[in-house]
Structures are given as structure tokens and as C-alpha cells.
């Protein structure tokens, strides 16, 4: 059974009138405040504490390179640790990929110390200067087997 067309039009018109009446109440202008009244921050305008500040990598310094073993073959799975020169704590860690390559971004303006290590090979340390205005440094490490007495 179908409803007559005039009932559908009548109901739609009534809904439009109801919604128009409600929206006019919701959009009433706020009363003006006096210039001498102190400005207060509403909770809606307060900054959200869960929102993180976005960090741009635009000005970062890129440390990239390749690690080879004693037979001049690429060396996957080598641990890389980077810290600011003079600090004890390592702030960046990475591993070489399947082709022995790595790439790590660090902030410009400091000098960094990179430690490359893998079991059975001597640990190597290099200093990287990220203060010279360049945006990248390409490095090559050739790992040497550790002495038999040391691990």
C-alpha cells in the first residue's frame, strides 16, 4: 500500500520548518564583551595535550653508507649506534639492510660519534661533523675480524 503523494510533501515541509527553527536558535550571536573585561580562554580553544607537534625532517643531516666484510662483500645485519659527541647515551640505533646499506637522519648543528659493531669483528668508531652546512655524509666501513683472544 502506497501513501498519497500529498502526505509525503506535507511531512517533508514540516521537517524543514522544524530544522530551520532549531538552527536559528543555535546560531544566535553572542553578546559583545566590554573592552575592560579580561579575555578568558574557553575549554574549546585550549590546546589539546594529546596533540603532538609535528617534526619536519627538512633540515636534518643524513648519514648514509655501506658496510662490507673482510672479503669485500656487503654485510647485512650490522648494528649501528649514534650519539652526540661527548655524551654516553646512544640516541639513534639502526641495522644494515640485506645489501649492507644504512641511512639515519640526525639533527644538524652537532658532532656525532657512530659505532659499528657485529659479533666476531672489531668494533669501529667514526666521528661525523654535521655542523659544516652539508646535508649528507656518505660512509664506508670495512669490518675486520676480531683478534682470537677478544670477543
Tell me whether strands 60-68 and 136-142 are parallel, antiparallel or unpaired: parallel
Note whether residue 121 is domain-resident. yes
pLDDT band at 51 (very low <50, low <70, confident <90, very high): confident
Note whether residue 18 is domain-resident. no
Residue 66 has pLDDT above 60, yes or no: yes
Residue 128 has pLDDT above 90, yes or no: yes
Domain that holds residue 124: 60-142
CA distance 130 to 112: 7
| Mean pLDDT score, 92-119 | 95
Backbone angles phi, psi at 18, to 5 degrees: -65, -45
CATH number of the structural domain spanning residue 125: 2.60.40.10
Note whether residue 89 is domain-resident. yes
Give the E-state strand segments of the chain in sequence order.
60-68, 79-84, 92-95, 101-107, 111-117, 124-129, 136-142
Number of independent structural domains in the chain:
1
Residue 26 has pLDDT above 60, yes or no: no
| Mean pLDDT score, 92-102 | 96
Note whether residue 78 is domain-resident. yes
Amino acid at each position: 500500500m502506497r501513501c498519497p503523494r500529498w502526505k509525503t510533501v506535507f511531512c517533508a515541509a514540516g521537517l524543514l520548518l522544524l530544522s530551520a527553527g532549531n538552527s536559528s536558535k543555535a546560531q544566535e550571536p553572542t553578546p559583545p564583551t566590554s573592552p575592560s573585561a579580561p579575555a578568558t580562554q574557553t575549554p574549546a580553544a585550549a590546546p589539546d595535550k594529546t596533540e603532538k607537534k609535528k617534526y619536519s625532517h627538512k633540515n636534518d643531516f643524513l648519514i648514509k653508507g655501506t658496510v662490507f666484510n673482510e672479503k669485500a662483500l656487503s654485510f647485512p645485519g650490522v648494528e649501528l649506534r649514534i650519539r652526540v659527541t661527548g655524551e654516553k647515551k646512544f640516541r639513534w640505533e639502526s641495522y644494515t639492510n640485506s645489501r649492507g646499506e644504512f641511512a639515519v637522519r640526525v639533527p644538524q648543528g652537532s658532532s656525532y660519534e657512530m659505532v659499528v659493531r657485529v659479533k666476531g669483528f672489531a668494533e669501529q668508531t667514526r666521528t661525523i661533523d654535521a655542523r659544516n652546512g652539508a646535508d649528507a655524509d656518505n660512509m664506508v666501513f670495512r669490518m675486520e675480524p676480531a683478534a682470537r683472544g677478544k670477543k
